[in-house]
Every structure is written in structure tokens, then in C-alpha cells.
């Protein structure tokens, strides 16, 4: 009887691990499938949601089987069930963390250091022709939400000429993995596209550099092509770019 119970516990433990593994693979594929053009990103979000549900079920099943296996002194079943819990929790943790982040930031996708006269796209406009999100700035309401959520994002000033600063900005953008669309020294404008790692979302960036007393003023705008909320990605991108640019200029 004892051996039979151990066998059952091992079976349940392996089933829970198999379910957890399947769900974590599905979660990873949810974003990659969209990136590779297999399905719409909303399909990917649905896959991710159901993978999280499955991961939660696998973690629960694994926890129960681990307790019973420990009680029946089935070491292998305990180890397998514990792995199922770990994998299941990981599957749930990733979308849960994104959900919490989305709730913590405003549902906007157009971020700029100058909300009065945002930098404008020129060369990138044809690439955004079929994008659901407009390249036209949303105005005062969007600016209000941005200022409340990201009060640190503002214009930056550097003691370099616009031409030299544009060169430095281009090198920083390249180091960040952005695809440079155009760098126009005479216009003081850099346009680039950044592709997110998991879902492969395309976010477009324009850097505007204008003469300022004693140097140059830099404004950056980052806009997602799809999605109502960017989960804070554009603000993080702008912040990282300006920090890297500042560090590069200071070290030079």
C-alpha cells in the first residue's frame, strides 16, 4: 500500500512538473510568436494569460503533491513537485509583475521631455503609416499624466555644439541597440527605432538638438507604435538614453 501511494505521488508530481514546463514554454512563445510574425500581439497576450493560469494550477498541484510525498517519504516526488512549484511560480510571476507595473503608470505611450513643443518625426513617418498609434502628440491631458508619473523627464543641456552632441547621441543610440533611421546634423535631429526583446514591439524615438546658451539643448521623444499603455517603457528608454549621453559627454 505504501509503495502504491508513493507511485501515485510520483505520477502526480511529474504531471505537475510537465504542466508547469508546458506553461512556461507557452509564456515564452507568447511574445516570440508575435515577434516572429506568427500571430497578433493580442493573441500573444491571451496565450500569456492562460499560461499564467496553467502555471498557477501547476504550482498548486505541485505544492499539494510535495506535502503528501514528504508525508509518505518519497524523496523523488518531493524534488519533482518542488520543481513544479518553482517553474509554475515563475510562469505566474512574469505577467503578474507586468500587470502591477501597468497599474503603477498612466496608460499612455507617447513620452517626451518637451510636452509644449514635442520633437516631431520626419523620416520615420512612412514606417508608422500603418501603426495604430498616431505620431501626433495627444496634448495637455497626456502631458498632465506624464508630469505626474515622470516628473524627472525634462530637457537637458550640454556644453557641446549641436553637431558634436548629435554625433555623441548617435553613438549612444547605437550602443543601446537602436536602429538609426536618420541622423541629420544640419537639422539637429536623430530618428531611430528600438525593438523590444520579448514581443518585438517597435518604439520610435526622435532626438532634437538645438543651440542653447553655452552649448546645446536636447529633447527626446519616444512613442510606441501599438498598445494604449507602454508599461513605462518609453520613459525608461528616454531616461537611460539621457543618462548614458551625460556619462559619455562627461567622460570625454
Dump pLDDT digits (tens) for 63-92: 888 887 676 666 777 788 889 999 999 999
* Residue 120 reports pLDDT greater than 70: yes
Report d(CA 171, CA 124) in Å as an integer. Answer: 19
Q: How many domains does the chain have?
A: 2
**pLDDT for the residue 73:** 60
- 224 shares a domain with 207: yes
- 149 shares a domain with 32: no
- 124 shares a domain with 13: no
- 68 shares a domain with 20: yes
Per-residue three-class SS string for the chain: CHHHHHHHHHHHHHHHHHHHHHHHHHHHHHHHHHHCCCCCHHHHHHHHHHHHHHHHHHHHHHHHHHHHHHHCCCHHHHHHHHHHHHHHHHHHHHHHHHHHHHHHCCCCCEEECCCCCCCCCCCCHHHHCCCCCCCCCCCHHHHHHHHHHCCCCCCEEECCCHHHHHHHHHHHHHHCCCEEEEEECCCCEEEEEEECCCCCCEEEEEEEEEEECCEEEEEEEEEECCCCCCCCHHHHHHHHHHHHHHHHHHHC
- 75 shares a domain with 186: no
* Residue 40 reports pLDDT greater than 50: yes
Residue 144's domain is classified under what CATH number? Answer: 3.30.530.50
- 146 shares a domain with 185: yes
Report d(CA 220, CA 194) in Å as an integer. Answer: 14
What is the per-residue pLDDT across 219-236, written as a single tens digit (0 to 9) for each? 999 999 999 999 999 999
Band of residue 1 on the pLDDT scale cut at 50, 70, 90: very low
Task: Centre a 10 Å sphere on the Cβ of residue 214 and count the other Cβ atoms it contains.
Answer: 9
* Residue 252 reports pLDDT greater than 50: yes
Mean pLDDT of all residues in 230-244: 97
- 120 shares a domain with 43: no
- 238 shares a domain with 115: yes
* Residue 23 reports pLDDT greater than 50: yes
Distances from the Cα of 44 to the Cαs of 30, 31, 127, 143, in angstroms? 4, 6, 23, 30
Band of residue 14 on the pLDDT scale cut at 50, 70, 90: confident
Q: Are 190 and 173 in contact (CB under 8 A)?
A: yes
* Residue 190 reports pLDDT greater than 60: yes
What's the mean pLDDT when you consider all of the chain? 92
- 191 shares a domain with 175: yes
- 115 shares a domain with 100: no
Residue 121's domain spans which residues?
A: 110-251
Amino acid at each position: 500500500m505504501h509503495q502504491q501511494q508513493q507511485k501515485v505521488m510520483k505520477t502526480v508530481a511529474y504531471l505537475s512538473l510537465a504542466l508547469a514546463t508546458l506553461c512556461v514554454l507557452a509564456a515564452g512563445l507568447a511574445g516570440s510568436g508575435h515577434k516572429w510574425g506568427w500571430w497578433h500581439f493580442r493573441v500573444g497576450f491571451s496565450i500569456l494569460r492562460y499560461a499564467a493560469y496553467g502555471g498557477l494550477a501547476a504550482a498548486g498541484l505541485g505544492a499539494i503533491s510535495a506535502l503528501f510525498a514528504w508525508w509518505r517519504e518519497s524523496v523523488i516526488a518531493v524534488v519533482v513537485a518542488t520543481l513544479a512549484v518553482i517553474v509554475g511560480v515563475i510562469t505566474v510571476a512574469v505577467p503578474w509583475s507586468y500587470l502591477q507595473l501597468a497599474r503603477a503608470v498612466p496608460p499612455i505611450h507617447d513620452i517626451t521631455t518637451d510636452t509644449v513643443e514635442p520633437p516631431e518625426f520626419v523620416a520615420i513617418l512612412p514606417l508608422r503609416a500603418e501603426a495604430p498609434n498616431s505620431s501626433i502628440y495627444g496634448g495637455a491631458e497626456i502631458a498632465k499624466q506624464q508630469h505626474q508619473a515622470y516628473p524627472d523627464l525634462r530637457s537637458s543641456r550640454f556644453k557641446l555644439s549641436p553637431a558634436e552632441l548629435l554625433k555623441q547621441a548617435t553613438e549612444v543610440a547605437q550602443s543601446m541597440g537602436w536602429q538609426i533611421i536618420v541622423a541629420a546634423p544640419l537639422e539637429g535631429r536623430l530618428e531611430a527605432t528600438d525593438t523590444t526583446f520579448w514581443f518585438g514591439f517597435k518604439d520610435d524615438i526622435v532626438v532634437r538638438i538645438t543651440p542653447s546658451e553655452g552649448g546645446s539643448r536636447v529633447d527626446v521623444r519616444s512613442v510606441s507604435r501599438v498598445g494604449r499603455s507602454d508599461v513605462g517603457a518609453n520613459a525608461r528608454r528616454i531616461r537611460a538614453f539621457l543618462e548614458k549621453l551625460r556619462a559619455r559627454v562627461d567622460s570625454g
